[in-house]
Structure 1
């Protein structure tokens, strides 16, 4: 095995090719391919967010066996979709907040 590798490397050097440079180019190509794949994956992750889809879900969504959501459930969905930074309410306050909207 070592003789075969030595023979291959000798053949490359006789042709004027530096074997170390070829290995560096291969490593650089692999690193570039990995970086490109990571960028594609990152683009997929950031392409669609729940904030983008939620209004459409509220407009078009419906339960499986009924024509529409009940008003209380719909109000709960609206409250759950509230933007951040607002203190979360519980119990009766939740229903009061839903009724105000």
Structure 2
């Protein structure tokens, strides 16, 4: 089953950076809306060491045909060398809401 809508998530190191990523994605009409969750605690290995740091998750709802452009947009505007970018299919939900997601991700 191919999903017409996706949730794209990334993390960043500050609330301000999360707000900027979210706003830029919505302003560019690559996402209909975004939520910021945080702070969360991330434990990860980077350059041979294990780190534990606070991060903020940005979750962006988008249409499937806009996801590649959104991923590239995140990469261009992210402060991390290798940002976490994960896409998750939305397999159900309010038809009215998903229609709105589709409308809001169309170029103006």
TM range (shorter): under 0.3
Structure with bigger gyration radius: 1
Between the two structures, name the one with larger relative contact order (CA 8 Å, sep ≥ 6): 2
Q: Given the two structures, how large is their TM-score scaled by the length of structure 2? A: 0.17
Higher strand share goes to which structure?
A: 2
Higher helix share goes to which structure?
A: 1
